[in-house]
Chain A
Amino acid sequence: MRKMFLVLSLLVVASMVLTACGGGSTEPQTVVQTVIVEGTPQVVEVTVAPSEPEKEAVLRVNLGTYPDIIDPQKSSFVNEIAHLNKVYMGLTTLNEKLETVPGAAESWEFNDDATQLVFKLKPNLVYSDGSVLNAKRFEFAFQRNIDPATAGQYASITDEIVGAPEWRAADTSAADYDPEAYKAALGVKASHADGSECEGYEDTACDTLTLTFSKPAPYFATIAGIWVGYPAKEENIAEGGEIWWTSSKFQVGNGPFIWESVDPFVKSVFVPNPNFAGAGIPTYKLEFRYITDSAVAFEAYRNNEFDVIGSAAEDLPVIEADPDLSAQHVTYAGSCTIKIQFNLQPTWYDKPNPFTDKKVREAFALAFDAEGWTRDVDGNLSLPTWTWIPPGYPGYDPNSPLRFDPEAAKKALSEASEPFNSPEKLNALGLKLNFGDTPRNRQRSEWIVANYKNILGVDIALDPVDPTTATALQKDPNTFPLLSRGGWCADYPDPQNWLSVYWRSNTTFASRPGYANPEFDALVDEADQTVDPAKRMELYAKAQQVLLNDIPAAFGYNTLNHYLVKPWVKGYLTTPQDAGFPGDVTPWTITIDTSMIP
């Protein structure tokens, strides 16, 4: 009995090990060839060693974290969007200058007051499987994004559409809830060019999509190109159920690639979509891998197992010491501005709040050594900034009154109101810097505290909490930290996304710390409704200067996109909006020079 037990145990272990095994081997092959020897055909049998396989053009990218969800109307994270924008394309898209250019739509037109936007689709559009792609598909995409049953994180991004906020806020559990009534009232309509009704998804003449807005929205052509408007197939979503997005067979799109296969947490493979109607069809296969440890990814890159990885600050000394790696290190401006944010509410936990005093804010903004931060904390993998909209984005304005100036900072503090006009008085209040406690954030926070101690002589206590707790604290005006690090990353390249969405007094981002300025609100409101692009940009520029003058935060640094790219990866056009690898926005320009691959 005991022996049997032992044998059985060994068999279980062995079976598990064997289940893990498999794979093939490359054996010499016997082939039959017909050869001509001095004009006489003869059949000979020869044994040939396996020849070196022809190198395939493959772009192997380490994407890091595997996505939680890959659904156009539910996704929100960069790694999720990096998948979606390979498989789908919106009505519009971006070029390498971040200009809004035709995607699936051939053209678009606003009415005079920008309350209506009409897209005309390119002719003969098809999905990667050859099926018809018409305006009805885009109508479904926008409807699905707004439908409260979808409840996507970016659902509110299309709230300008007539009926969208009402439907999203509807009580879906109410007995009289009628989604079809809300859908009918929605300002999203697919039609033929003459305005007549489309007959369904097979109707090839259904080439017009009309979006009607509750207020002027001259920026909406750009929003129409982001992932929430990607035309996932309704029947695939219905067939696959709630988990349709987990299967590559249901992810049939109109993007530059076809999602060939997915092995969760291991690999995703994309092949060029011959039916892609964008600016060009990629000439290579794309592979995403999901290695989250930067040291392992770096070793794999050096071992030629990756063509592109994100570089990490800890690898910089090795990269800089190696001429080859240095030449392969690509850095350029990213899509985020990070700031030291101040609580602007009148009181903070029933104590007087020093940051209600503009002079205190000025002192803290001028005392932030952004260049020192970039150098000492980020190893030059960020860009110092003193303004809000980052370089590379429409609306970027390097002019700022908030450049690092220690003496001016001290002077500003001395000019603050009586209770806050010296380091001692501020120290008596017990200032705290709240942060999500990770090793990286701790290092960052220690630097910030030391910086303010050195420049202003102010003692700030570290207030570490679990990262999700830190986020939760920032959601409530009553618990919004006195000092914390935060920022914004662009959804789409328009100043409206940076100014109106973030700092207008009625937005969640502005109301939580308590920023409100009627002059700023009036300027962005006017800009948001101005159709003339030049005038619009002028108004946003004024609004940004008002914001900088109010000093709601110490604008610290812009993120930098930083990658190691193998020399055989050519032709990539970088943009701050890249989500995964350089040239991600226009992947069809990339080529792989297979002759260079070792």
Chain B
Amino acid sequence: MVNYLVRRLLWLVPVLITVSAVTFIIMRSAPGGPWDTDPERRQVDAATEKSLNAYYGLDKPMWRQFYAYIIGDTNSQTKEWVCGMICGNLGPSYRQRGRTVQDILFAPPEGKNFWQSRFGYSMRLGVLALSMAVFIGIPLGILAALKQNTLIDYTALFIATSGISFPSFVLAIFLIIIFGSWLHWVDIVVDDWTQIKYWFMPMIVLGFGTMAYTARLTRSAMLEVMRQDYVRTARAKGLAERVVIFIHMLKNALIPVITILGPALAGLVTGSFIIETMFSFPGMGRAYVQAIGQRDYSMIMGTTVIYALLVAVANLSVDIIYVFIDPRIRLEE
């Protein structure tokens, strides 16, 4: 297993370089650059643009810019060697000048801890949303399968279908009106994200779709497993229904569910533009989307690499979890 893990981790290096290369090519193919701002305002003049390009190395050939991002390069202005992504440096933000991408995403504001950084906020919300998806979605799917074609099944299916089809911005404003404007249970303008009550609405909006998908997947997987011979055998042996459901059925039905939960976690923890916009949530999703519009190249590269890394790690975790769920699976194979 250790060999397998080491091998998989080593594979991350070419994966991340490939992701970076593809992102770099697509990003730099798009017209415009980081200094193109509001056309109705004064634009960066030629002399200043030249200075900025020289400082950020944007005046160098494309291959060298990519090399500088991955390995590093000497800054032509300061004459200092700046190590690249291999040293954990995700590059300088072109729009939040003076700040590096890792600083923007991982450094907390003054006097706060890591969990109050943009990544920290997104991570916590993502984990909460995934927990909701797992702890509500899976039981809902089980219940729907066990009570197939009953009111419970239809209700569960209705919730699941709503979760998939309901746009998150509609759900968000709906919750804000109910809990903020009508019931006054929470403030719409969040003052203090250290209070748990403010996390429920973003958590529900972020996790609802994944929860719905999890419920549907669990239901169909359970329905398939229920018809298997070994389930019939377990019942014929006189095992308690609880044991049949949770040990024999659920364990096998969970394989496809866990498969999707890995990438889902990566998607949830990297934040959501909609949720962050609607709830003014200080996560990293908005940074990603804004960076694309602003052509903040390092920010686009950095967030993409982080996303790729999270997907890879999540998939690796899923592979490890398989072993615990299904003893037939061996990682060495």
A residues near B (Cβ < 8 Å) are: 1-2, 5, 12-13, 16-17, 19-23, 60, 62, 68-69, 71, 74, 76-77, 148-149, 151-157, 165, 168-169, 172-173, 241-249, 262-267, 289-293, 295-296, 299-300, 302-303, 305-306, 336, 338, 465-475, 486-489, 491, 501, 508
- Given the interface pairs A151-B55, A155-B45, A245-B98, the reply to whether A19 lies near B124 with Cβ below 8 Å is yes
Kindly list chain A residues whose C-beta atoms are within 8 Å of the C-beta of B52.
Answer: 151
Contact between chains at B193 and A266 (CB < 8 Å): yes
Contact between chains at B47 and A156 (CB < 8 Å): yes
- Given the interface pairs A152-B48, A263-B109, A266-B193, the reply to whether A471 lies near B96 with Cβ below 8 Å is no
Kindly list chain A residues whose C-beta atoms are within 8 Å of the C-beta of B280.
Answer: 265-266, 289-292, 296
B residues near A (Cβ < 8 Å) are: 30-33, 35-45, 47-48, 50-52, 54-55, 76-77, 95-99, 103, 109-110, 115, 118, 123-124, 127-128, 131, 169, 172-173, 176-177, 180-181, 184, 187-196, 199, 277-282, 286, 293-295, 324
Kindly list chain B residues whose C-beta atoms are within 8 Å of the C-beta of A467.
Answer: 293
Contact between chains at B42 and A153 (CB < 8 Å): yes
Kindly list chain A residues whose C-beta atoms are within 8 Å of the C-beta of B30.
Answer: 466, 468-469
Contact between chains at B40 and A265 (CB < 8 Å): no
Contact between chains at B40 and A487 (CB < 8 Å): yes
- Given the interface pairs A17-B128, A151-B51, A242-B97, the reply to whether A306 lies near B189 with Cβ below 8 Å is yes
Give the docked Cα–Cα distance between A306 and B195 (Å): 20
Kindly list chain A residues whose C-beta atoms are within 8 Å of the C-beta of B38.
Answer: 77, 471
Kindly list chain B residues whose C-beta atoms are within 8 Å of the C-beta of A475.
Answer: 36, 43
Contact between chains at B96 and A69 (CB < 8 Å): yes
Which label, helix, strand, loop or mixed, suits the secondary structure of the A interface? mixed
Kindly list chain A residues whose C-beta atoms are within 8 Å of the C-beta of B181.
Answer: 299, 302-303
- Expressed in whole angstroms, the minimum distance between the Cβ of B292 and any Cβ of chain A is 9
Which 4 A/B pairs are nearest by Cβ-Cβ distance?
A: A242-B98, A472-B32, A22-B194, A468-B32
Known: A22-B196, A468-B36, A470-B39. 19 other contacts (CB 8 A): A13-B127, A22-B194, A23-B195, A77-B41, A149-B51, A172-B77, A242-B98, A265-B280, A265-B282, A266-B280, A267-B191, A290-B280, A293-B169, A299-B181, A305-B189, A466-B293, A468-B31, A471-B37, A491-B42
Contact between chains at A266 and B190 (CB < 8 Å): yes
Give the docked Cα–Cα distance between A487 and B30 (Å): 24
Contact between chains at B54 and A468 (CB < 8 Å): no
A-B contact pairs, 21 of them (CB 8 A): A2-B324, A20-B193, A22-B194, A60-B189, A69-B95, A148-B51, A157-B42, A168-B51, A173-B76, A243-B99, A265-B281, A266-B193, A267-B191, A289-B280, A291-B189, A296-B173, A302-B181, A465-B31, A469-B32, A471-B32, A471-B39
Give the docked Cα–Cα distance between A557 and B83 (Å): 50
Closest residue of chain A to B109 (Cβ to Cβ) is A264
Kindly list chain B residues whose C-beta atoms are within 8 Å of the C-beta of A291.
Answer: 189, 280
Give the docked Cα–Cα distance between A242 and B277 (Å): 28
Kindly list chain A residues whose C-beta atoms are within 8 Å of the C-beta of B169.
Answer: 293
Contact between chains at A17 and B196 (CB < 8 Å): yes
Give the docked Cα–Cα distance between A471 and B295 (Å): 12
- Expressed in whole angstroms, the minimum distance between the Cβ of A66 and any Cβ of chain B is 9
Contact between chains at A262 and B41 (CB < 8 Å): no
Interface residue from B40, B44, B128 paired with A336 (Cβ < 8 Å):
B40
Give the docked Cα–Cα distance between A222 and B274 (Å): 41
Kindly list chain A residues whose C-beta atoms are within 8 Å of the C-beta of B195.
Answer: 21-23
Contact between chains at A299 and B188 (CB < 8 Å): yes
Give the docked Cα–Cα distance between A465 and B278 (Å): 26
Give the docked Cα–Cα distance between A172 and B54 (Å): 9
Contact between chains at B32 and A168 (CB < 8 Å): no
Give the docked Cα–Cα distance between A152 and B40 (Å): 17
Kindly list chain A residues whose C-beta atoms are within 8 Å of the C-beta of B95.
Answer: 68-69
- Expressed in whole angstroms, the minimum distance between the Cβ of B44 and any Cβ of chain A is 5
Give the docked Cα–Cα distance between A153 and B52 (Å): 10
Contact between chains at A168 and B188 (CB < 8 Å): no
Closest residue of chain B to A242 (Cβ to Cβ) is B98
Kindly list chain B residues whose C-beta atoms are within 8 Å of the C-beta of A468.
Answer: 30-32, 36, 293-295
Closest residue of chain B to A248 (Cβ to Cβ) is B110
Give the docked Cα–Cα distance between A468 and B43 (Å): 13
Kindly list chain A residues whose C-beta atoms are within 8 Å of the C-beta of B190.
Answer: 266
Give the docked Cα–Cα distance between A488 and B41 (Å): 6
Closest residue of chain B to A153 (Cβ to Cβ) is B44
Contact between chains at A295 and B173 (CB < 8 Å): yes
Contact between chains at A16 and B124 (CB < 8 Å): yes
Contact between chains at A264 and B173 (CB < 8 Å): no
Contact between chains at B39 and A486 (CB < 8 Å): yes
Kindly list chain A residues whose C-beta atoms are within 8 Å of the C-beta of B51.
Answer: 148-149, 151, 168, 172
